[in-house]
Amino acid sequence: MATPGICDSANLNGGQKLAVKYFTVAITLFGAQVLFGLLAGLQYLMPDFLYGVLDFSVNRMVHINALVVWMLYGFLGSVYWLLEEESQHEIVGLKLGNVIFWVLTAAVTVVVLVFLLVQVGPGKESTIWLINEGREYIEAPRWADIGIVVSVLVVFYNVAATFGKGRYTGIAGVLVLDLLALFGIYLAGMFYTTNISIDQYWWWWVIHLWVEATWEVMVACIMAYGLMKVLGVRRKIVETWLYIEVALMFGSGILGLGHHYFWIGTPEYWFSIGGVFSALEPIPLVAMVVHAVFDAGARHAKNSNHPTMAWLIAHAFGNFFGAGVWGFMHTLPQINLYTHGTQWSASHGHLAFFGAYATIVIAMFYLAVQKWRGDVWMSGGLPGNGWKWKWALGLLNLGMVGMTMSMLVSGYVQSQIERAIEGSSWIGYFAAQSHHWFVQGMWWREVFGVMFAAGFVLLVWDLLTIGCGEQRKLVPASDSV
């Protein structure tokens, strides 16, 4: 065993070495997301800033695509991280997994460079294949789509085959089926149609069924593993909770898809189906909070990794408030008629993606760093009282809550002035956008964005230094299975 306190890959199993690569790209893209978000936010306040060079559309596209891809990298990394421990078997196709990691990363790099340097193309199908598909969140051109599908298939093969040969746990069963769904659903977004109603119908299959169904189940699996790992919760308990969460999540989330089918040309029966089922979507998120907080309380919050535990709790609450409460606020069609396509959606999107997904991937980063440095102590009494991770946690969460609130204020102004009073015309749109209350919201968003960026810098610094030179070993969480 290597000396504790330095990052030594001898401390990691094969899957974890690969996971660390995924995590490194993930946090790099997280940085890109923050940077381009700040640029786009600034353009609301100074419209001539970078006009004609890096227009809002480009910055915003990189902002949201960096988001999707860093989440995906975080999830795939997390899956590789837990795979060998969970299955108690070496990964069957580790070499292939490594090759695919580099192929995928090269593809992502090319896509980002094309987004930044080429930006747009002529109105032909070749543009969709080579430059930009022009559909929000899945802008990646078709050739890259094919690459993503192949990559996810390889991860799926590695997961299914490794669990097949080793121990097939409850988490394994859920994870395998979830990855299969994740892969299958992406195919629904890989064709062109002129009919925009059908276009958006299937586009929502990808966006909603990823973000509000398969991703939620993915993080439920990671949460189950994380709670066993840092708190020592018994497997029977986390796996029973996992099934409850899957039942509630898919039971509400699959038909909750209907809340995107109010205004795109689809029939009126989606009002009732989408309204009812999406209103139920917060329930599994409440279950997750209860589960996490109860487990932590039952162990008097004694755990083997304080930053990970803190981010897991941040995840439980962030998921509930961001995805649950903020989603519920405007999910009923009677309200959504006024809020659809306004800053309400941006407010919800920010808190939900951060609360539900960024938090838990950060929790995994800390778990990874701890083992990488040789299973060092990461509970109380860290040097400097652990001020870096605590301040990073505080700045990132406060920054995000601040941005969310600011955009919500702007969203209120928009739904009131543009929609309710002015009647959704372009004049109404600009009346709302130039209203000083709206503009104030946009200013505060930028200010809190800078706070968030400071938190990100601190997070990276902490991940690079936490546990450095630490000689104490971790005390494993009790009754872990």
Partner 1 sequence: MATNQWWASESFWRKTAIWVTGGSFVVLMLLTMDTISQISVGTTRVPAYSVINHRIEYKFDEQRRVQVPVIGVKEPLFGKELNEEEAEALVKLGKLTTQAKNCMNCHTLLGNGAYYAPDLTKSWLDQYWGTSEIREVQMVEFIKDPSDKLHNSMGRRMPKLGITDEEARGVVAFLKWMSSIDTNGFPYNFKSIEQEN
Q: 335 to 374, contacts with partner 1 by CB under 8 A?
A: 337-338, 340-343, 345-346
Asked if 198 is part of the footprint of partner 1 (rule: CB under 8 A), the reply reads: yes
Angle at 318 between CA 438 and CA 101, to 5 degrees: 105
Q: Please, what's the largest Cα pairwise distance for the chain? A: 69
Tell me which residues in 147-186 interact with partner 1 (CB under 8 A): 170, 174
- 195 or 385, CB closer to partner 1? 195
DSSP at 421? I
Q: Which of 24, 28, 98, 240 binds partner 1 (CB under 8 A)?
A: 240
Q: Provide the β-strand partners of residue 473.
A: 376
Asked if 300 is part of the footprint of partner 1 (rule: CB under 8 A), the reply reads: no
Stretch that binds partner 1, among 67-75, 286-294, 315-323, 413-421 (CB under 8 A): 413-421
DSSP at 211? I
Stretch that binds partner 1, among 31-39, 99-107, 266-274, 387-395 (CB under 8 A): 266-274
Residue 439 CB, nearest distance to partner 1 (Å)? Answer: 8
- 60 or 390, CB closer to partner 1? 60
Asked if 187 is part of the footprint of partner 1 (rule: CB under 8 A), the reply reads: no
Stretch that binds partner 1, among 153-161, 194-202, 379-387, 467-475 (CB under 8 A): 194-202
Q: Which of 30, 56, 70, 456 binds partner 1 (CB under 8 A)?
A: 56
How many CA atoms are closer than 13 Å to the CA of 434, on its beta-carbon side?
Answer: 7
Q: What are the start-end ranges of the H helices in 187-305?
A: 196-209, 215-231, 235-256, 269-280, 282-298
Tell me which residues in 7-26 interact with partner 1 (CB under 8 A): none
In this structure, is the dihedral angle defined by the CA atoms of residues 325, 331, 332 and 335, taken in order, positive or negative? positive
Cα(157)–Cα(151) distance, integer angstroms: 10
382 phi and psi, to 5 degrees?
-75, 160
403 phi and psi, to 5 degrees?
-60, -45
Q: Which of 16, 78, 200, 303 binds partner 1 (CB under 8 A)?
A: 200
Asked if 429 is part of the footprint of partner 1 (rule: CB under 8 A), the reply reads: yes
Asked if 440 is part of the footprint of partner 1 (rule: CB under 8 A), the reply reads: no
Q: Which of 1, 10, 48, 117 binds partner 1 (CB under 8 A)?
A: 48
Q: Which of 133, 145, 295, 462 binds partner 1 (CB under 8 A)?
A: 133
Contacts of 73 (CB under 8 A, 6+ apart): 22, 23, 25, 26, 29
Asked if 271 is part of the footprint of partner 1 (rule: CB under 8 A), the reply reads: yes
To 10 degrees, the CA torsion angle through 129, 131, 137, 143? 40
Q: Which two tokens stand for residue 181?
A: 């769904």
Stretch that binds partner 1, among 88-96, 150-158, 223-231, 244-252 (CB under 8 A): 244-252
Tell me which residues in 92-121 interact with partner 1 (CB under 8 A): 119-121
Stretch that binds partner 1, among 148-156, 332-340, 454-462, 466-474 (CB under 8 A): 332-340
Q: Which of 1, 117, 125, 381 binds partner 1 (CB under 8 A)?
A: 125
Tell me which residues in 245-264 interact with partner 1 (CB under 8 A): 246-247, 250-251, 254-255, 257-258, 261-264
Asked if 330 is part of the footprint of partner 1 (rule: CB under 8 A), the reply reads: no
Cα(457)–Cα(31) distance, integer angstroms: 8
Q: Which of 5, 6, 14, 55 binds partner 1 (CB under 8 A)?
A: 55
Cα(349)–Cα(312) distance, integer angstroms: 20
- 388 or 419, CB closer to partner 1? 419
Contacts of 16 (CB under 8 A, 6+ apart): 80, 81, 84, 368, 371, 372
How many CA atoms are closer than 13 Å to the CA of 458, on its beta-carbon side?
Answer: 18
Q: Which two tokens stand for residue 73?
A: 């990298």
Asked if 434 is part of the footprint of partner 1 (rule: CB under 8 A), the reply reads: yes
First to last CA, the chain: 23
Q: Which two tokens stand for residue 128?
A: 């969709």
Asked if 201 is part of the footprint of partner 1 (rule: CB under 8 A), the reply reads: yes
Asked if 47 is part of the footprint of partner 1 (rule: CB under 8 A), the reply reads: yes
Stretch that binds partner 1, among 243-251, 287-295, 318-326, 397-405 (CB under 8 A): 243-251
**# residues contacting partner 1 (CB under 8 A):** 85
Nearest to residue 400, comparing CAs of 37, 23, 24? 37
How distant is the alpha carbon of residue 156 from its chain centre?
Answer: 19
Q: Which two tokens stand for residue 332?
A: 């009923």
Stretch that binds partner 1, among 268-276, 286-294, 324-332, 452-460 (CB under 8 A): 268-276
Asked if 51 is part of the footprint of partner 1 (rule: CB under 8 A), the reply reads: yes
Asked if 331 is part of the footprint of partner 1 (rule: CB under 8 A), the reply reads: no
